[in-house]
Structure 1
Amino acid sequence: MASRKRLSPEASRLAALEAARALLIESGPQSITLKAVGARIGRTHANLLHHFGSAAGLQKALAGHLAANVCDAIAEAVLASRAGQGSPRQVVDLTFDAFDKEGAGALASWMILTGNEDALTPIVETIHELVDEIAPEEADSHEEIMRVHEETLALVLMAMGDALIGAALARSLGLPESAARDRAERMLLSSVPGLSQPE
């Protein structure tokens, strides 16, 4: 009988979060159970209980993990855009993909519907930290900072809504499926200082 590879607590936790992320993308948020994640990585239910406390704890940790990865990518895209090496569209696409292809929209909806709303805290806090980190240096007045916060709120809400109903609604209205992304890009170009279209 082959022995299981011993992982550090951090590596074991990360392996569980990556397995949960894969399950989320493949089968939806209802598939993220301690049993399913344990089976995927060859760990016991007790081992996962030790790391996360419950399935709700696993979902909350997954929300934080997704938010951190996505926000890191968005921060890089924003800074690249300011340096003339990227575009606002990349920022929009990363944000929308996080809620759609990466499953954050489905996970957030599932947590709200199952009464696990506090599991959204890591997503909200991470996005807030991202906005504070990438707020343009010239946004030093309260009004400018609030405007950046408002644009972030609009972008995240658009991405979340698009992930849940965007394609069907766009088709119903006779619009291309990219309509919400196109609108979000125009919003960023017109209102966020420092973002520019690449030459």
Structure 2
Amino acid sequence: MSIVRGRLTQEESRAAALDAARDLLIEAGPQAVTLKAVAARIGRTHANLLHHFGTAAGLQGALARMIAERVTLEIGRAVELARQGQADPREIVDRTFDAFAREGAGALAAWMMLSGNRDALNPVLDAIHGLVDQLREGHEDRPIRAVTLWLVLAALGDSLLGAPMAEALGLERGTARELATRQLLAETGLGAI
């Protein structure tokens, strides 16, 4: 439990709330990310969080934006390192799958879609679109958009159903990542992404 003490700037208070929201998301799932729960986690009031985010949907949207920015930054770094021959393309797959699983982006995206809060996904979609635009610069001949589509969909599906599906099929848990890595190499040609 992370209690924030003392007087914080608005920016620090907002950041502490988002970190607590992310922790709740990972620990207990998206339904646990409420203004009341986040306020309790950081020792603030519900009114304080209303001031920063306006509504629970505002908090969820800000959380989605934060996760999307962190995730796309990490994936972008992995792609650039792979292009320079300094990283295995598997790192791209692992960072993408981890973003949706360990970072909570998969559960958050699914919950937003199922609860009808699709607008809150815009920061995630915008961040991915921005990353694709950045990665395409100077590499317009490569299938970056298509690869991004299937990789994100595979990572999202794996974050939601990967463990039980692999178990039901008698496969190792990392099988989806292995398949995604093979597909990435086949689509892009030995790290030429």
TM-score (norm 2): 0.92
**What is the aligned partner in structure 2 of residue 110 from structure 1?**
111
Q: Please report how far the alpha carbon of residue 194 of structure 1 lies from its aligned counterpart in structure 2 after TM superposition.
A: 7.6
CA distance in 2, matches of 1:149, 1:72: 17
Conservation of the 8 A alpha-carbon contact between 1:136 and 1:193: no
CA RMSD of aligned residues (A): 1.7
**What is the aligned partner in structure 2 of residue 26 from structure 1?**
27
5+ residue gaps, structure 2: none
Conservation of the 8 A alpha-carbon contact between 1:136 and 1:194: no
Q: Please report how far the alpha carbon of residue 136 of structure 1 lies from its aligned counterpart in structure 2 after TM superposition.
A: 5.5
**What is the aligned partner in structure 2 of residue 165 from structure 1?**
161
CA distance in 2, matches of 1:166, 1:38: 32
Correspondences of 1:1-199 after superposition (within 5 Å) = 4-135=5-136, 137-139=138-140, 144=141, 147-192=143-188, 195=191
Conservation of the 8 A alpha-carbon contact between 2:135 and 2:144: no
1:193–1:132 Cα change, 3 Å: farther
Q: Partner of 1:7: helix, strand, or coil?
A: coil
CA distance in 1, matches of 2:5, 2:137: 49
Runs of 4+ in 1 over 4 A off after TM superposition: none
Bigger mean CA offset, 169-178 vs 82-91 = 169-178
CA distance in 2, matches of 1:193, 1:179: 21
CA distance in 2, matches of 1:193, 1:68: 28
Give the letter aligned to residue 190 of structure 1.
A
5+ residue gaps, structure 1: none
Q: Please report how far the alpha carbon of residue 173 of structure 1 lies from its aligned counterpart in structure 2 after TM superposition.
A: 2.3
Give the letter aligned to residue 183 of structure 1.
L
Bigger mean CA offset, 177-186 vs 12-21 = 177-186
The percentage of aligned residue pairs carrying the same residue is: 56
Conservation of the 8 A alpha-carbon contact between 1:56 and 1:119: yes
Q: Please report how far the alpha carbon of residue 8 of structure 1 lies from its aligned counterpart in structure 2 after TM superposition.
A: 1.5
TM-score (norm 1): 0.89
